[in-house]
């Protein structure tokens, strides 16, 4: 039997994708699922990645983070700044999106890893010079530069995958 590394389900040898969560079960088959063979992205490699197809988010009252590895979903009211990282009790620091419980340390999430800024120009993501960096739709963000966000964007804080939705 093969065990899914994401959800722990057991499948027969030869099953290519976990029937519970859809994750690839074979090393040779698309470890990076961002380029699944049937996706439009692969058929047209120049097409921007998923979230960039939509218009940038200009205004939102709530942002929801979906963390596939832990199955957690966190909704945070939109504010001027939403901090993303890991809590540090010794400094009384608790970011609005605290990824400690999502194995943030193992995935390489810094204490203050990134922030989401809301301004008149829209909603943007900014890497706070984190140790392991931030990837927005597989594009590594230069530190301290705001990048506009889109509904459904895929972000990796270190190696931790998070999907971002706006309402």
The backbone torsions φ and ψ at residue 82, rounded to the nearest 5 degrees and listed phi first, read: -115, 120
The DSSP secondary structure of 45-86, one letter per residue, reads TTSPPGGGGSPBP---SEEEEEETTTTEEEEEE--SEEEEE-
In the complex, what is the shortest distance from the CB of residue 145 to another protein, in angstroms, rounded to a whole number? 24
Distance CA 106, CA 5 (A): 15
The backbone torsions φ and ψ at residue 148, rounded to the nearest 5 degrees and listed phi first, read: -65, 145
Pairing outcome for strands 10-11 and 2-3: antiparallel
Contact code string over 37-76 relative to another protein, x by CB under 8 A: xxxxx-x-----xxx-xx-----------x-x--x-x---
Residue 106 interacting with another protein (CB under 8 A): no
In the complex, what is the shortest distance from the CB of residue 75 to another protein, in angstroms, rounded to a whole number? 10
Q: Identify which of residues 56 and 152 has a Cβ nearer to another protein in the complex.
A: 152
Q: How many CA atoms lie within 13 A of 106 on its CB side?
A: 5
Residue 30 interacting with another protein (CB under 8 A): yes
Q: Identify which of residues 49 and 129 has a Cβ nearer to another protein in the complex.
A: 49
In the complex, what is the shortest distance from the CB of residue 93 to another protein, in angstroms, rounded to a whole number? 29
**Which of 8, 20, 106, 121 is in the footprint of another protein by CB under 8 A?**
20
Whether 107 and 135 have beta carbons less than 8 Å apart is answered as no
Binding segment for another protein (CB under 8 A), chosen from 25-33, 87-95, 110-118, 122-130, is 25-33
Q: What does the binding site for another protein look like in residue numbers (CB under 8 A)?
A: 1, 7, 11-24, 26, 28-30, 33-34, 36-41, 43, 49-51, 53-54, 66, 68, 71, 73, 151-152, 154, 163, 165
């Amino acid at each position: 039997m093969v065990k899914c590394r994401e959800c722990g389900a057991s499948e027969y040898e030869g099953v290519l994708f976990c029937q519970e969560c859809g994750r690839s079960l074979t090393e040779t088959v698309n470890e990076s699922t961002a380029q699944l063979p049937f996706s439009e992205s692969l058929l047209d490699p120049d097409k921007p990645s998923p979230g960039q197809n939509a218009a940038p988010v200009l205004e939102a009252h709530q942002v929801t983070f979906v963390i596939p590895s832990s199955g957690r979903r966190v909704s945070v009211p939109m504010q001027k700044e939403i901090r993303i990282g890991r809590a540090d009790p010794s400094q009384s620091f608790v970011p609005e999106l605290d990824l400690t419980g999502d194995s943030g340390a193992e995935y390489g999430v810094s204490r203050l890893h990134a922030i989401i800024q809301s301004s008149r120009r829209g909603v943007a993501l900014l890497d706070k010079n984190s140790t392991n960096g931030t990837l927005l739709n597989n594009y590594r963000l230069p530190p301290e530069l705001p990048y506009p966000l889109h509904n459904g964007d895929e972000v990796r804080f270190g190696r931790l995958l998070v999907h971002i939705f706006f309402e």
